[in-house]
């Protein structure tokens, strides 16, 4: 856990959050500034700085993409489509330096996104 990382504190339950989903590896909660009717953040409980850190965490990557995302799509009613985003680095728009995936849905998504 990184001492000053807000997402580490949420994962450790030092900061309360209404979790949408949780297992031993990840926590999922609603984004504070939703950009779609459904907008949740998927965070690993282990501190990983960004998507590039998944190179050393292949099992975690597989768990998130192969198990957690499909479970959330089912639970949140996103079978008609969704967007999964992982901003990486300052230029990529990452504001919290703890890996997190934005899962957005419930409306048509425009392109390009930003």
**Catalytic site positions:** 100
Distance CA 82, CA 107 (A): 8
Secondary structure of the chain: what % helix, strand, coil (to 5)? 25, 20, 50
Distance CA 88, CA 23 (A): 24
């Amino acid at each position: 856990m990184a001492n000053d990382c807000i997402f580490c504190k949420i994962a450790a339950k030092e900061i309360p959050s209404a979790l949408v989903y949780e297992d031993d590896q990840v926590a999922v909660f609603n984004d504070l500034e939703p950009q779609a009717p459904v907008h949740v953040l998927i965070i690993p409980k282990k501190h990983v700085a960004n998507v590039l850190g998944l190179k050393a965490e292949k099992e975690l990557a597989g768990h998130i993409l192969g198990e957690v995302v499909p479970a959330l799509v089912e639970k949140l009613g996103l079978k008609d489509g969704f967007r999964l985003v992982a901003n990486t680095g300052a230029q990529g728009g990452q504001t919290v330096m703890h890996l997190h995936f934005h899962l957005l849905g419930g409306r048509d998504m425009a392109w390009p996104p930003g």
